[in-house]
Amino acid sequence: MPQNTSPHVAVIGLGAMGLPMATHLAGAFPVTGFDIAQARRDLLVAAGGGQAGTPAEAAAAADVALLAVRDHEQASAALFGEGGVTSTLRPGGVVILTSTIGPDAARELHARLQATGHVLVDAPISGGPVRAGQGDLLIVVGAEDAALQQVRPVLDRLASTLTVVGPRPGDGQALKTINQLLAGVHIAAAAEAVALARGLGLDPAVVVGTLAQGAAGSFMLGDRGPRMLQAYTDEPAEVKSRIDIFVKDMGIVTGVGREAHVPLPLAAAAQQLYLIAEANGLGAQDDSTVVTVLSPATRP
């Protein structure tokens, strides 16, 4: 990418995180987005971006392709499948991987991209959709310095905290795995607290509002706690992070722990809770609704 130019960014995946990132980037750079849902592409156009019918079309004029897809399978298809990014992204073009797919999967994509003459910057994100739209994300990076410098303006636009973990793709995924361990366990703990409050006949709103201010507080209790209360109303919380995402992520966590020979008993217990919720048909619901597995809306 030439110096002192504004990179053209292709954003592949305009879901809960991809769309707010794309719209925020569109305030500073030329952006073209792809998503299988036309409605999501229309929202990007309304925010000043462009749209494309395939990943290849989105990447045709791009210097950088940012992936905001669900998992390793979708990332592989978006990059190397029919109409994929690598068929049109310029030689030496950089792919930013923001999805959580695990260290080994990121290294596999890196090797395949090297074979096509492209570069991977492993940059998984954390912070949620609102912060994504404000450029207030935590981004952890595994990449060689030369590759990172090429996309630094894009990452700086999205991040309030950017930490370079190491020089290899996969290093960012490793730290994000630890992040997801903590996030998944904290959500499960918040769900248990709300469930116990209901079981004891306490007002869960008072419990959440009070404990969030003290030593027992956590980001997840303060953020998910009120949304858990909404799970028992006729207007449940907006879906910001699906339960099946945590099924995927806790699977990555426990798999990485197993390979490292590190026991993760709390992560394993939380993983089972998300799997139970998914088995009960809640996979597409906001992860806060996991509380209803522990404390159903109606009890015998």
171 CA to centre of own chain: 16
DSSP 161-188: EEEEEESSTTHHHHHHHHHHHHHHHHHH
- Catalytic residue, chosen from 8, 176, 227, 248, is 176
Distance between CA 46 and CA 80 in Å, rounded? 29
Annotated active-site residue 240? The verdict is no
Residue 215 CA: distances (Å) to CA of 188, 200, 207, 211, 212 = 17, 21, 13, 7, 8
Residue type at 270? A
CB distance 155 to 236 below 8 Å = no
Distance between CA 141 and CA 169 in Å, rounded? 8
**Which class for 37: exposed (0-12), middle (13-18), buried (19 or more C-beta within 10 A)?**
exposed
Distance between CA 277 and CA 288 in Å, rounded? 11
Residues serving a catalytic function are 176
